[in-house]
Chain A
């Protein structure tokens, strides 16, 4: 499994860069992951979504879909795309240090 170094710590990631073990994630790592994904700086709104992603993962074992994310967080889908342009569900999951949302079957 590939590894990455964030904030001076080596972490295991999947082939497409998602954390294998969410326990390895720390808030200090988020800005660097974000930058790699094309998100220049993390605003309080970004953080609101990142924390929500981690909460959902802890509760349900997977990150939410964009639609569920929007309904529960109260941030509209359009605004979520402003925050995480290449796809909020995946990008926010990556920055929040949780595995790729398993999507739907």
Chain B
């Protein structure tokens, strides 16, 4: 009898997991992907929308079309998961029993957790470019902006793509230079971290880059309130950062159904799992891929990509009642747009910090250093995403294990 695999979420992780599993298991498994809508967003493209470098409609494709034939797709919101009975209960009332459940529902944006943020967004004083409508609204607001103070604020960690707000600051510097009004724009980066980034070496490099671009850096600022009328962010310890326009990355959490599924998630709604095998702590028949997981790795598409192969091997082992043998090493790989047609590339895992060098080998792309080549790599990535990464094709020279680079 074929095994029932239910995958919650048809984004990066869910789609590539479904395609890889179908390829490996064929008709021995019945795979069903569930998602509440049919819009698969190429999320790295959202960063480019506010600067007119990408159009929202060009970065969205139907979710179902990214799945190879033979995979079922059902559009519905999830009400809850019953871990004991091994059932997914959909909002419409349908119940889906499973042999293996894969949680791939990503992270949700929670502006409501910060006092005043929802109101400031509704009034057009604060913008989030983490979803298409917000990114498009920010594009229009930037086009109208002819001078004043812009803050780029990360409310709390973890966030999706932790380099994106830094890239936003770099690109804003470039954008206002190009418009000839950079001298009239005051750019400030406000973060809860003690530096520009979480990893020490990269943080030094990126803090330096902010400085060279004339972006002020305010650290250890935990935003408690956004005061739209007064044009200021107020931290929990009473500090303030004034703005005319605020670009805010709201707090993140897991999807709401996780909170309705006893035992599945943690306090923030992310799903605790073994950071090497990706098996959920809640139950051995549940696996987690991508941003939904509560692990040390960054919430980034590259992580979901590198996790895919591990997840599929371990799901196969689980179905065959074998010990799980594949291990994820925390491999993360991010292009960082730095403006003026250049980009940096960083590469790290659980054990190794981002270091200088080249990726994936001695003649590859320069690491932790601005270059034109990295920018072209980032631009070309969208085609790679739809045609290689989502279908789950293995890429020569790019394995899940982080190559040894740097010195």
Contacts and interface: CB of A to CB of B under 8 A. Distances in A.
B380 to A, nearest CB: 26
Contacts of A102: 296
Contact of B158 (A64, A77, A86, A104): A104
B251 to A, nearest CB: 7
B146 interface: no
Given A102-B296, A103-B193, A104-B198, A78 B267 contact: no
A90 to B, nearest CB: 9
A51 interface: no
A77 B244 CA distance: 27
A68 interface: yes
B157 A104 contact: yes
Given A87-B237, A104-B198, A68 B266 contact: yes
Nearest to B270: A68
B267 A103 contact: no
A67 B251 contact: yes
B267 A72 contact: yes
Nearest to A16: B194
A67 B156 contact: yes
Contacts of B297: 105
A105 B162 contact: yes
Interface in B159-178: 159, 162
B140 interface: no
B220 A67 contact: no
SS class of chain B's interface: helix, strand, loop or mixed? loop
A47 to B, nearest CB: 20
A21 B21 CA distance: 43
A86 to B, nearest CB: 7
A105 B267 contact: no
B152 to A, nearest CB: 18
Interface in A47-98: 60, 64-68, 71-72, 77-78, 81, 85-87
B236 A77 contact: yes
B298 A105 contact: yes
B156 A105 contact: no
Nearest to B155: A67
Contact of A86 (B198, B237, B296, B332): B237
A71 B237 contact: no
A85 B237 contact: yes
B224 A78 contact: yes
Interface residues of B, number: 23
Contacts of B332: 105
Contact of A103 (B198, B224, B236, B237): B198
Contacts of B199: 105
B198 A71 contact: no
Nearest to B332: A105
A68 B268 contact: yes
Contacts of B268: 65, 67-68, 71
Contacts of A71: 267-268
Contacts of A72: 267
Contacts of A103: 157, 193, 198
B266 to A, nearest CB: 7
B348 to A, nearest CB: 9
Contacts of A64: 267
A11 B157 CA distance: 31
Interface in B193-244: 193, 198-199, 220, 222, 224, 236-237
A78 B236 contact: yes
B113 interface: yes
Contact of A65 (B156, B162, B220, B237): B156
Interface of A: 60, 64-68, 71-72, 77-78, 81, 85-87, 102-105
15 contacts: A67-B156, A67-B267, A67-B268, A68-B266, A68-B267, A81-B236, A85-B237, A103-B157, A103-B193, A104-B157, A104-B159, A104-B198, A105-B158, A105-B162, A105-B198
